[in-house]
């Protein structure tokens, strides 16, 4: 993905949200996302038995990786960061086609923020010249599947079955 499409300098705005690069001081929000994850999420994406990743480790990640294309989602009315949304390099889709990713804190679910943020990112992806974007979602994650449908994704026939964590579904959207 081109540097501009990685989110390093990108700022997107909607009526209620600002999507922008993460600030080191917001690592605690990332940690909260990790703590809230469903127990069906694979272990490498949850807080481990030793408490990793720590806030300090997430701060280092923000400093060094710029959150790998994932923009912080900030509510304008409150000035608080409620999660992330953005494009990531995907080995799962076709070459040169990014994957849409989003995750929000539970306290703001069911308020349309994921849909609003995703639409802003998809508009931005189109302006960057992408013609297709992928998304992956666990079959049991009905809320994220609804968001993907609302923003125009279609689930494909492709899936990856994991006997422990469930089935990953692949969805695609033409831009």
Angle between helices 142-150 and 113-127 (to 10 degrees): 50
Q: Comparing C-alpha atoms, which of 2, 6, 31 is closest to residue 21? A: 6
Q: What is the arithmetic mean of pLDDT over 104-131? A: 97
Rounded Cα–Cα distance for residues 56 and 74 (Å):
21
pLDDT band with cut points at 50, 70 and 90 for residue 41: confident
Question: Is pTM beyond 0.85 here?
Answer: yes
Fold of 3-126: Aminopeptidase (3.40.630)
Q: How confident is the model at residue 93 (pLDDT cuts 50, 70, 90)?
A: low
Q: Is residue 19 within 8 Å of 117, Cβ to Cβ?
A: yes
Confidence of residue 68 (pLDDT cuts 50, 70, 90): low
pLDDT, position 67: 57
pLDDT for residue 36 is more than 80:
yes
Q: Could you give the residue ranges of the DSSP H alpha helices within 46-165? A: 55-65, 113-127, 142-150
Better-scored residue on pLDDT, 33 or 91? 33
Strand residues in the chain grouped as ranges (E): 12-13, 17-20, 70-75, 81-88, 99-104, 132-138, 154-162, 166-174
């Amino acid at each position: 993905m081109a540097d501009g499409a990685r989110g390093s300098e990108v700022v997107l705005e909607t009526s209620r949200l600002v999507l922008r690069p993460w600030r080191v001081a917001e690592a605690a929000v990332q940690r909260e996302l990790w703590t809230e994850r469903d127990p069906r999420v694979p272990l490498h994406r949850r807080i481990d038995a030793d408490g990793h990743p720590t806030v300090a480790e997430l701060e280092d990640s923000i400093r060094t990786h710029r959150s790998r294309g994932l923009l912080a989602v900030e509510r304008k009315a409150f000035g608080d960061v409620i999660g992330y949304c953005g494009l990531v390099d995907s080995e799962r889709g076709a070459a040169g086609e990014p994957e849409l990713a989003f995750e929000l804190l539970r306290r703001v679910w069911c308020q349309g923020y994921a849909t609003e943020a995703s639409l802003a990112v998809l508009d931005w992806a189109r302006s960057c010249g992408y013609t297709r974007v992928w998304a992956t979602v666990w079959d049991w994650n009905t809320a994220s599947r609804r968001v993907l449908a609302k923003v125009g994704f279609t689930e494909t026939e492709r899936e990856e079955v994991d006997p422990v964590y469930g089935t990953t579904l692949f969805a695609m959207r033409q831009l």
